[in-house]
Chains A and B, each alone.
Chain A
């Protein structure tokens, strides 16, 4: 099993550009989530999904969209990148909301 995979590993964007961060898992987990990690602020939940076709907002959803058309994939879209979105983004999956989370390797995003 590859576990949770994320692409790209690094990305540089200009303000106003859009892009999609990819996340996939091969463990048949129902629950998937996106976090951003900034220095001194821990991990903050952006969006999450409890199953295919269902998504909900987390703590910091503004400027991001998600969809969950399959169990395996949970892409995160930045609609119009801003410097405040410079961060490290982690995708995670788990069998259920109350179970341990398996994190992907992360995407380091810089917005100029």
Chain B
């Protein structure tokens, strides 16, 4: 079946350092979503990328979708303690005509050292 791999599994950074998580799919994606889950909380939608090579920014967060629509990345500039949590990518795969499935990556847990 379709798989979405995400690396790294864990990342510890000093406050103020940058952070990047990468998502790779074995097959072409229709689109990719990113979610953030705070410790003890539930996943919260951040953004959706649809077009090949698309780049979107949300303040200190930059999201990219690869040209082949098989990989994506989330980059956080100058991390803050509020960025702590687990970041998940989720890829939509076309299963058959009109039917898509969403597969989540394994997540990257970000911890910040003040």
Give chain A's interface residues, CB within 8 Å of chain B: 33, 35, 40-45, 58-59, 90, 92, 97-106
By CB atoms of chain B within 10 A, which of A35, A42, A45, A103 has the most?
A: A42
| CB-based nearest A residue for B86 | A42
22 contacts between A and B (CB under 8 A): A42-B104, A42-B106, A43-B43, A43-B104, A45-B101, A58-B101, A90-B43, A97-B92, A97-B99, A97-B102, A98-B92, A98-B100, A100-B33, A100-B48, A101-B43, A101-B45, A101-B90, A101-B102, A102-B45, A103-B43, A103-B44, A106-B42
**Chain B 87-112 per-residue mask, 1 if CB under 8 angstroms from chain A, else 0:** 01010100000011111111100000
A96 to chain B, nearest CB (A): 10
| CB-based nearest B residue for A58 | B101
Q: How many A-B residue pairs have CB under 8 A?
A: 52
Give chain B's interface residues, CB within 8 Å of chain A: 1, 6, 9, 30-31, 33, 35, 41-45, 48, 88, 90, 92, 99-107
Complex contact A41–B106 (CB within 8 A) = yes
Separation of A66 and B41 alpha carbons in the complex (Å): 24
Separation of A97 and B93 alpha carbons in the complex (Å): 11
Known: A42-B107, A43-B88. A98 touches B31 (CB 8 A): yes
Complex contact A42–B105 (CB within 8 A) = yes
Query: Which B residues lie within 8 Å of A102 (CB)?
Result: 45
Known: A40-B9, A42-B88. A105 touches B42 (CB 8 A): yes
